[in-house]
Homo-oligomer: A and B are copies of this chain.
Amino acid sequence: MSQPIEKTEVQNLGDMPAEEFRRHGHELIDWIADYFQHIEDLPVLAQVEPGDLKAQLPATPPARGESMEAILADIDRLIVPALTHWSHPSFFAYFATSTSAPGIFGELLSAAFDVKSMLWRTSPASTELEEVTLDWLRQMLGLDAGMSGFIYDTASVSSKHAIAAAREGVELRIREEGMSGRKDLPLLRVYASDQAHSSIDKGIITLGLGQKSLRKIPVDNQFRMNAKALAEAIDEDKRNGIIPFCIVATVGTTSTSSIDPVRELVEIGEQHVMWLHVDAAYGGSAAIVPEMRYVLDGCERADSVVLNPHKWLFTPFDCSVLYCRHLDLLRRAFSLVPEYLRTPEQEKVRSGSDYGVQLGRRFRALKLWMIIRYFGHEGLVARIREHCRLAQMFASWVNESPDWELMAPTPFALVCFRAIHADKQANLDELNEAIMHGANATGKAFLSHTKLNDKLTLRLSIGNIRTTKRHVKQVWDILNEQLRQHTS
């Protein structure tokens, strides 16, 4: 291939001509509007086999440029069939999430501005809009003004940074001296419930603390961390010369959306001078609803709280917000300003790169600001409330049916349930797995599962902005039909 590249003269440098940009841009906007209008004609879960898409793509790159027409045609022909449609109103798996029009517009503008928000001067708009928008959101959530917000990409990364700040707070010179080759360093310990998200394990592994540093605390019969067990574990560890330095509470666990007793945990954390991090990635957003503000009870004494607007505030992925009471510690853990990044104003402003691993940062505040303005606090509340109402409705159907049972409480918009059947007691796991795969294979709905007390449990998560009662009724009918098929 190198021959033609050496010889060909590409005449027009620069970007796509403006008129072509307008024409294809308009087409794409219409394409997306059509996509949303007709998304229910598509299967939610991609009905392709591993390797199907790869087999249809050329093995070598194109030497010469192709027309945008050809590229867009391939998006229809190749990409869309290989997508699992997270924007489909019958996406009920994992945590159902949602993009939205003002968020898409925010991403579109952000891709055009293309700022790297590493220093104030490389994008004053990004730095200051982030501070203001996150303060708006803080007020909506009812968090106190001692909490400052910062946007990362995902909750995994937010939590990892929170634990890193906690580690920095231990005052053992880990930033400078590290942890290898040190005979003076006792085992450092983090505590989380056995229902905490795997990102906590991963964060601890990444930070070099290792899996041994994470002690999993058992939960009560509603999947909430047992505070007494936590207190005992810390006492025991201290007696053994271990340094307990961080507690991770969860508001909305991934399996069941259970809520740890943050108030009780905060007491324990304060008693031992430990960092209390709250993983509210899923559940936190619900606190913008006045009657659900209680879900963040106790956070007025927490050290950090993460929540994901890309989960339940209609924000296109990615956008995770860490609220932190000690940005100074985060900064001490991560700030490094080489000569080429020094600016005259640096003492007066916030520099995004001071607070994390990433140097450049996308202009994510823009989409969140546009979403809060377009829907308003009320509009966001109404949508979250409706999702919770739909989940309660589904839970009541489960509850009232002899064929199904609830497996956990439903504090948010996630229902944990499973089919029960007199003749199949021995293999209810198989039955429920078959029902799930059968339902997903229809293309009409997509659910996922978990295990609770060793029992395979189905999860119905409602979070898409397009989901209505009709979709919830439809998946209920599909599930019952699958149950009939697998028990008759």
| Interface assignment of A251: CB less than 8 Å from any CB of chain B | no
| Interface assignment of A229: CB less than 8 Å from any CB of chain B | no
User: Which of B36, B37, B93, B154 interacts with A112 by CB under 8 Å?
Assistant: B36
A6 to chain B, nearest CB (A): 6
Q: How far is the CA of A85 from the CA of B391 in the complex (A)?
A: 45
Do the beta carbons of A348 and B205 come within 8 Å of each other?
no
Do the beta carbons of B65 and A13 come within 8 Å of each other?
no
| Interface assignment of A333: CB less than 8 Å from any CB of chain B | yes
A67 to chain B, nearest CB (A): 8
Do the beta carbons of B383 and A13 come within 8 Å of each other?
yes
A306 to chain B, nearest CB (A): 13
Q: How far is the CA of A358 from the CA of B334 in the complex (A)?
A: 18
User: Which of B101, B155, B358 interacts with A15 by CB under 8 Å?
Assistant: B101
Q: Which of A48, A103, A208, A338 neighbours the largest number of chain B CB atoms within 10 Å of its CB?
A: A208
Interfacial chain B residues near A157, Cβ < 8 Å: 357-358
User: Which of B6, B63, B379 interacts with A65 by CB under 8 Å?
Assistant: B379
Q: Which of A24, A48, A79, A173 neighbours the largest number of chain B CB atoms within 10 Å of its CB?
A: A79
Do the beta carbons of A185 and B176 come within 8 Å of each other?
no
Interfacial chain B residues near A64, Cβ < 8 Å: 376-379
User: Which of B65, B123, B254 interacts with A83 by CB under 8 Å?
Assistant: B123
Q: How far is the CA of A211 from the CA of B174 in the complex (A)?
A: 9
How many protomers of this protein does the assembly include? 2
User: Which of B97, B207, B316 interacts with A207 by CB under 8 Å?
Assistant: B207
| Interface assignment of A116: CB less than 8 Å from any CB of chain B | yes
As a 0/1 sequence over residues 108 to 131 of chain A, the CB contacts with chain B under 8 angstroms (1 = contact) are: 111111111000111111001101
Do the beta carbons of B340 and A82 come within 8 Å of each other?
no
Interfacial chain B residues near A402, Cβ < 8 Å: none
A109 to chain B, nearest CB (A): 7
Interfacial chain B residues near A397, Cβ < 8 Å: none
Closest to A254 in B: B340
Binds B, one of A194-202, A263-271, A322-330, A417-425: A194-202
Q: How far is the CA of A143 from the CA of B24 in the complex (A)?
A: 34
Q: How far is the CA of A121 from the CA of B84 in the complex (A)?
A: 7
Q: How far is the CA of A115 from the CA of B82 in the complex (A)?
A: 12
Do the beta carbons of A60 and B136 come within 8 Å of each other?
yes
Closest to A142 in B: B2
Do the beta carbons of A87 and B101 come within 8 Å of each other?
no
User: Which of B10, B102, B121, B254 interacts with A379 by CB under 8 Å?
Assistant: B10
Interfacial chain B residues near A33, Cβ < 8 Å: 18, 21-22, 25
Closest to A66 in B: B373
24 sample A-B contacts, Cβ–Cβ < 8 Å, listed by A number: A5-B290, A5-B381, A32-B108, A45-B121, A59-B135, A60-B136, A61-B140, A62-B372, A70-B373, A79-B129, A79-B366, A82-B129, A94-B122, A107-B110, A178-B212, A179-B208, A180-B185, A182-B185, A198-B341, A199-B359, A202-B334, A206-B206, A339-B450, A340-B449
Apart from A21-B36, A107-B110, A198-B341, what are 9 other A-B pairs with CB-CB below 8 Å?
A: A8-B382, A24-B105, A57-B129, A66-B373, A83-B123, A86-B113, A178-B211, A198-B359, A206-B206
